[in-house]
């Protein structure tokens, strides 16, 4: 079980490659495994890991990164094969798997969800009637009945060291945050386009507390520019009332963790940034990827039920109300004011939530243990 292949197709944005790349690095660096990451779009990896070169094969952070092209060829079959998010590995690879005895462990690592059915489907297997190969479905999640969440061994130590040193101020200066950020509530806004952004910006501009909003270059900037009737780009800033908004560069995975740690409240999107926000132990609001028939709201409500467990009824209600309004593009002005009035309690709840989640084994460790048990 020394060699692992991870296959990733970049479907949209950076969630697929973000999760796959974190998993590959952790398996290689913490579990001393020989990991190959097959990815069909190197440019997406380059955005979050700038050392990436547009080459067919390269070594990055202990991982062998290979281009998954139409002319796919492979020189060996790994002991463990992961298709990230049901991306369907190449037929030629499957054909080669049939020649290996014993057969490789084949896992489909699925999307993260807090829905109850995930616990029932986690680690279920199916055998392909045509070739006899067994595939096991592996679900990340928030309970001990799932595969857990990605979390490096020293992540909390790194976070705590960052917060008590001069690193936080130095980081904010490096990404272009104004020097006068000391007495402001700092909010990161990383989301998809959302009509609700205008109502939040209005609420922050009329806030009794000074607000610094940091917006990484990306989809949210379209809605921001619409509100300000401007063409803000990286490095630009804008002030309205109590709000100072600053557009910062799209960040690497390492720097994005730093942003989450440096801010007081984080708006996050997708899956990768969403999980990292949990480990920041800061209040956060999730902009879940919109799906047809509002299926994403079912997923959101399932998470909120877990996330607000243990909070008092008022705080839980306020978090739920704002989260749903935010994800439905509704007016969030008053809902934001209501929840922010309970900021200290929200922050404490976020810390408790992070501590409880962090007491469980992480996804990479669970995957390794699962494969060892199979062998």
Catalytic residues: 16, 271
Written as one string, the DSSP assignment of 184-216 is: SEEEEE--S--TTHHHHHHHHHT-SS-EEEEEE
Q: Nearest to residue 38, comparing CAs of 8, 61, 62? A: 8
* For residue 345, cis peptide bond before it (omega within 30 degrees of 0): no
CA 213 to chain centre: 20
Dihedral, CA atoms, 299, 302, 307, 313, nearest 10 degrees? 130
Q: Are strands 185-189 and 265-269 parallel, antiparallel or unpaired?
A: parallel
DSSP letter assigned to residue 175: T
Q: 59 is written with which tokens?
A: 């070594």
CA 99 to chain centre: 36
DSSP letter assigned to residue 181: G
Written as one string, the DSSP assignment of 270-322 is: TTHHHHHHHHHTS-EEEEPPP-GGGHHHHHHHHHHHHHTTTS-HHHHHHHHHH
SS (H, E, C) 78-142: CCEEEEECCCCCCHHHHHHHCCCCCCCEEEEECCCCCCCHHHHHCCCEEECCCCCCEEEEECCCC
Task: Report d(CA 280, CA 161) in Å as an integer.
Answer: 12
């Amino acid at each position: 079980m020394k060699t692992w292949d991870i296959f990733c197709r970049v479907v949209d944005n950076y969630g697929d490659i973000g999760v796959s790349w974190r998993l590959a690095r952790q398996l290689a660096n913490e579990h001393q495994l020989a990991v190959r990451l097959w990815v069909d779009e190197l440019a997406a990896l380059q955005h979050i890991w700038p050392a990436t070169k547009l080459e067919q094969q390269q070594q990055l952070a202990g991982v062998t990164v290979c281009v998954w092209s139409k002319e796919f060829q492979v020189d060996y079959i790994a002991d463990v094969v992961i298709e990230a998010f049901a991306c369907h590995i190449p037929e030629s690879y499957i054909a080669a798997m049939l020649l290996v005895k014993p057969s490789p462990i084949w896992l489909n690592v699925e999307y993260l969800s807090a829905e109850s059915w995930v616990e029932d489907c986690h680690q279920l297997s199916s055998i392909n009637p045509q070739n006899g190969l067994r595939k096991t479905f592996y679900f990340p999640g928030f309970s001990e009945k799932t595969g857990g969440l990605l979390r490096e061994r020293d992540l909390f130590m790194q976070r705590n060291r960052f917060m008590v040193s001069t690193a936080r101020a130095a980081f904010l200066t490096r990404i272009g945050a104004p020097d006068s950020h000391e007495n402001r509530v700092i909010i990161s806004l990383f989301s998809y386009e959302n009509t609700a952004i205008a109502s939040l910006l209005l609420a922050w501009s009329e806030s009794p507390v000074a607000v610094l909003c940091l917006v990484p270059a990306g989809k949210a900037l379209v809605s921001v520019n619409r509100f300000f009737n401007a063409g803000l780009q990286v490095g630009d800033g804008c002030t309205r009332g109590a709000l100072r908004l600053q557009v910062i560069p799209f960040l690497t995975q390492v720097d994005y963790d730093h942003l989450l740690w440096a801010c007081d409240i984080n708006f996050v999107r997708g899956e990768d940034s969403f999980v990292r926000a949990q480990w920041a132990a800061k209040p956060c609001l999730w902009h879940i990827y919109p799906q047809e028939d509002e299926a994403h709201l079912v997923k959101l409500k399932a998470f909120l039920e877990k996330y607000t467990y243990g909070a008092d009824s008022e705080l839980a209600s306020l978090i739920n109300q704002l989260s749903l309004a935010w994800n439905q593009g509704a007016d969030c002005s008053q809902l934001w004011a209501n929840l922010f009035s309970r900021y200290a309690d929200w922050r404490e709840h976020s810390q408790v939530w992070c501590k409880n989640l962090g007491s469980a084994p992480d996804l990479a460790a669970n995957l390794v243990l699962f494969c060892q048990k199979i062998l």
